[in-house]
Structure 1
Amino acid sequence: MHTVITFGTFDVFHIGHLNILERAHALGNRLIVGVSSDALNLRKKGRLPVYSQQERMAIIRGMKYVDHVFLEESLELKADYIEAHHAKMLVMGDDWKGKFDHLSSLCEVVYLDRTPTISTTSIIEVIKQR
């Protein structure tokens, strides 16, 4: 077994987040999670998350599947994060399929199927409509 690393915003925590963390944890003996910073989310999605980076990190830190949490400040630093945490496997949702294949020289890259019919964006839209 080995160290697995994954990354995400984990805003408005839902069953899809839980599923990917549980499945990533099962692939190794240690799970490291990079939580996207507020600034990274603003650059990537054009909006701030509902919950602050400190709140999102606290939620992820509290998960029994997670061994360590750190703040991801740049998508371009994934290789550095993988090396710093001695990860042997990068796990991402399949919405990122192919986008991190270039990191396969550093570690195994695995894309897991997302939980169907759920996303943070869709949850936020439901809340807005109510």
Structure 2
Amino acid sequence: MEKSIASSIKKMQKEVKKLQKAGKKVIFTNGCFDLLHLGHINLFEKAKSMGEVLIVAINSDKSLSCLKGPQRPLSWEKDRAKQLLSLKSVDYVVVFDEQTPKEILSELRPDILVKGGDYKLSEIVGREYVKKVCRFPFIKGKSTANLINLIVNRYGYKKM
């Protein structure tokens, strides 16, 4: 298995079926991951420990901007994908355009869906397409919003 950024959801779907047929447990998580931080890395490591293959789906730039506002993304989808793929725990990265991962989960059908602890089970989109859903608690103070606030508070709007 070679780590990669999926060129399409259809190709990722074929790869998931192949992996599952070979007896591999496929884990899935998703998010914007606009500024990578320790909370994300811990989530990926915990997710990967649950199986053999970790797929991280990221919101496209357009999707992220719709979700988080016109000043985002801070890091472009190709950059975010490459950063994530460089992590030991991440095997595949796939970009999706929708606001939620429901469509991609319905197509990929991984074994386990992993989310952060800020979601109630009933709020987790796409849970009906997986065998198991796991939630892991956040690391206090580790979030993209906290990083943005820290930068603004320390530097304001000064040009560097």
- TM-score normalised by the chain length of structure 2: 0.73
- Number of aligned residue pairs: give it: 129
Q: Supply the distance in 2 between the matched residues of 1:67 and 1:49 (Cα, whole angstroms).
A: 23
Q: Which residue of 2 aligns with 1:21?
A: 44
Alpha-carbon distance, 1:72 to partner: 2.0
Checking the alignment, whether the CA contact within 8 Å between 1:2 and 1:30 is kept in structure 2 is yes
Unaligned runs of 5+ in 1: none
- For 1:40, the equivalent position in structure 2 comes to 63
Cα distance in 1 between the residues matched to 2:126 and 2:95: 22
Matched, 1:109 2:109: no
**Pair member with larger Rg:** 2
Asked whether the 8 Å contact 2:54–2:89 carries over to 1, the reply is yes
Answering whether residue 44 of structure 2 is matched by residue 3 of structure 1, we say no
Structure 1 CA distance for aligned equivalents of residues 63 and 129 of structure 2: 25
Partner in structure 1 of residue 143 of structure 2: 119
2:110 matched to 1:87? Answer: yes
Pairs within 5 Å for 1:66-81: 66-76=90-100, 78-81=101-104
Local SS of the residue matching 1:96: coil
TM-score (norm 1): 0.89
Cα distance in 2 for residues equivalent to 1:2 and 1:75: 26
SS at match of 1:95: coil
Displacement after TM superposition at 1:82 (Å): 2.5
Identity over aligned pairs, percent: 27
Q: Does 1:55 align with 2:79?
A: yes
Please list the CA deviations of residues 56-99 of structure 1 after superposition, one character each: whole Å capped at 9, or x if unmatched: 011001111011100021144x3432343341111011112231
Equivalent pair of 2:37/2:144 in contact (CA under 8 Å): yes
